[in-house]
Amino acid sequence: MATPVELLLNQVRKENISRNGQTVEILKGIDLEVMSGALTVIVGPSGGGKSTLVRLLNRLEEPSGGRIHFCGEELRAIPVLELRQRIGLVPQKPFMFLGSVLDNLQLPFHFRHQTPPRADDPKLLLIVQRCGLEAAWLDREARSLSLGQQQRVSLARTLLPGPTLLVLDEPTSALDRPTGDRLADTLRTICRDQGLTVLMVTHDLRQAARIADRMAYLEDGRILESGPAGELLAHPRCDELRRFLAGTAGEEEP
Amino acid sequence: MTQTGIIPLSLPDLAGAFALILLAAALARLQGSGQGWPLLWSALRMVAQLLAVGYLLHFVFALRSAPPVLLLLLVMVGFAVQTVAARVKSRMPNFHRIVGLAILVGCGGTTFIFSSLIIGLTPWYDPRYLIPLTGMVIGNAMTGASLAAERLAGEMAERREEIETALCLGATSRMAAREASRSAFRAALIPSINAMAAMGIVFLPGMMTGQILSGTEPILAVRYQIAIMCVITGSVTLTAFLILWFGTKSYFNADHQVRDPGAHH
């Protein structure tokens, strides 16, 4: 039912200029294929370039080299505002704009000069419910919600305009474990029920193992291994992933 | 009262006034505040600078032609940009170009509207009006420009999350930076609003005082002061608006990406 999504990354590199003027290579040639309709998790230690990779996908930043293709088109060939509607990115920290939950859900439509759905819109109510929010919260001040609830509003806000690819940057890192687990389960359900293609990055292996169809291991700017999640977890081929699975890889917070 | 309406100030009179500076320096030494020499030094600078300006104005007035006046006004704009650059710590990309253009258009435009279209100055460049008028306008616009530029830089850094979230949700760069620009604009306008509200009660403005001293009827001096405050407020607002319009844009590229996105690391 959902449109097939192709996302191909070919030798994607990203350099940044550090504070002392030196060039730092954050991504060193990423090759990745995201499967349509699957939930793919890129897992790896903090500081490995995961957030940077995510920011390249909806062009918050530009890669320094390599190619990214989305649904047969080169990323740069798609008008950037249209691209950001087709690839919805949920940032790491949920930022709530001043106003109610409903105001926040309607905001992307205002940005795009489209008529926003009203509070009784069936599609809005369906997404609100799928994201684990209560319809009664729509009138509440968004900033008065808990962090976990805000993350759900952020997710619903990105889903409502109907992206074909949902990208999430460490969506559970700011949440406590049970809240994070519930959000991960929500993602799992949305991916399955809507047939939505989901790409998520996280340093939380447990979370990744819990929900991923496919997995890729990113460390130090390189994808060292990728494939079906079960295979990667059961038979890691590279030492780095083996060490990460054993819990010895750097787990420091960003 | 004399015919000219003002008592001439002779050089011995001036020397007498300068004695008060010596008194101030002596008191500073007595207090041991370490300001004796700095005070004298800045008093000497004042004398030298004002004399230089006085002769320059005398010279420009005598020339009776437009180009020297315009050149002087341009130099004033240049100094204003330098002053703003010195005051503002975190500067937007293309800082000098944007601030220069904003002050030039913001001050030049409003001053021209007043001097040529409203009071109908003849000749249009009459330096006796145009130079002090522009000086006051630029002086105030500088404050507005500093506040706008400094605040915009602060807001852009502080609201990074908000701006990038808005971009992710399909906002154009201008929409994403709207709140940042709005609070910078607000900050830039506060001094003008406060000054107008306090005018005549808390302080008597310098230009009006000067006009009264030189023999102008108080009512006419007041009219001039009202007009000048309108010009000042107009120019501050226009200058701040232009700085924020182009300044906001300078933080992004055409693809609605924040320039220099290194800050999120």
Residue of A nearest to B176 (CA): A111
Residue A235 has pLDDT above 70, yes or no: yes
Which residue out of B159, B164, B167, B168 would a mutagenesis test of the A interface target, given it has the greatest number of A Cβ atoms within 10 Å?
B168
Residue of A nearest to B164 (CA): A60
Q: Which residue from A62, A80, A95 is facing B165, i.e. has the nearest CB? A: A95
pLDDT in tens, B77-133: 999 999 999 999 888 999 999 999 999 999 999 999 999 999 999 999 999 999 999
Q: What's chain A's average pLDDT? A: 91
Mean pLDDT of A176-192: 90
At residue A211, the pLDDT reads: 93
Q: Which residue from A61, A112, A158 is facing B257, i.e. has the nearest CB? A: A61
Alpha-carbon span B67 to B56, nearest angstrom: 14
pTM value is 0.86
Alpha-carbon span B265 to B150, nearest angstrom: 23
At residue B30, the pLDDT reads: 93
Q: Map residue A212 onto helix, strand or coil.
A: coil
Q: How far is A233 from chain B (nearest CA, A)?
A: 30
Q: Do B256 and A80 touch (CB under 8 A)?
A: yes
Q: What percent of chain A has pLDDT over 90?
A: 77
At residue B102, the pLDDT reads: 97
pLDDT in tens, A126-148: 999 989 999 999 999 999 999 99
pLDDT in tens, B140-160: 999 999 999 999 999 999 999
Q: DSSP string of chain B?
A: --TTSS----HHHHHHHHHHHHHHHHHHHHHT-S-HHHHHHHHHHHHHHHHHHHHHHHHHHHH--HHHHHHHHHHHHHHHHHHHHHH-SS--TTHHHHHHHHHHHHHHHHHHIIIIIIS--SSTT-HHHHHHHHHHHHHHHHHHHHHHHHHHHHHHHHTHHHHHHHHHTT--HHHHTHHHHHHHHHHHHHHHHHHHHHBTTTB--HHHHHHHHTT--HHHHHHHHHHHHHHHHHHHHHHHHHHHHHHHHHTB-TTS-BSSGGGG-
At residue A123, the pLDDT reads: 94
Alpha-carbon span A17 to A33, nearest angstrom: 28
Confidence of residue A2 (pLDDT cuts 50, 70, 90): low
In which residue ranges of chain B is pLDDT below 70?
1-5, 261-265
At residue A108, the pLDDT reads: 97
Q: What percent of chain A has pLDDT over 70?
A: 96
At residue B261, the pLDDT reads: 52
- Pair of tokens at residue A54: 């995510």
Q: How far is B255 from chain A (nearest CA, A)?
A: 6
pLDDT in tens, A3-29: 688 899 999 999 988 778 888 899 998
At residue B209, the pLDDT reads: 86
Q: Which residue from B169, B257, B258 is facing A111, i.e. has the nearest CB? A: B169
- Using a CB–CB cutoff of 8 Å, tell me whether A62 touches chain B: yes
At residue B8, the pLDDT reads: 84
- Cβ-contact B85, B91 below 8 angstroms: yes
Q: Do A62 and B164 touch (CB under 8 A)?
A: no
Show residues of chain A in contact with B161, CB under 8 Å.
91, 93, 95
Q: Do A89 and B168 touch (CB under 8 A)?
A: yes
Confidence of residue A250 (pLDDT cuts 50, 70, 90): very low
- Cβ-contact B175, B128 below 8 angstroms: no
- Cβ-contact A109, A117 below 8 angstroms: yes
Q: How far is B213 from chain A (nearest CA, A)?
A: 53
At residue A253, the pLDDT reads: 44
At residue A254, the pLDDT reads: 42
At residue B4, the pLDDT reads: 54
Q: DSSP string of A144-184?
A: GS-HHHHHHHHHHHHHTT--SEEEEESTTTTS-HHHHHHHH
Sheet holding A87-90, edge to edge: A87-90, A165-169, A197-202, A39-43, A214-219, A222-228
CA angle in degrees (0–180, nearest 5) for A203-A245-A52 = 25
Q: Do A91 and B170 touch (CB under 8 A)?
A: no
Q: How far is A237 from chain B (nearest CA, A)?
A: 31
Which residue out of B159, B162, B169, B183 would a mutagenesis test of the A interface target, given it has the greatest number of A Cβ atoms within 10 Å?
B169
| Cα end-to-end distance, chain A, whole Å | 38
Task: Report yes or no for ipTM above 0.90.
Answer: yes
At residue A252, the pLDDT reads: 46
Q: Map residue A136 onto helix, strand or coil.
A: helix
- Cβ-contact B107, B239 below 8 angstroms: yes
Q: Map residue A42 onto helix, strand or coil.
A: strand
Beta bridge partners of A115: none
pLDDT in tens, A200-229: 999 988 889 999 999 999 999 999 999 999
Alpha-carbon span B60 to A238, nearest angstrom: 81
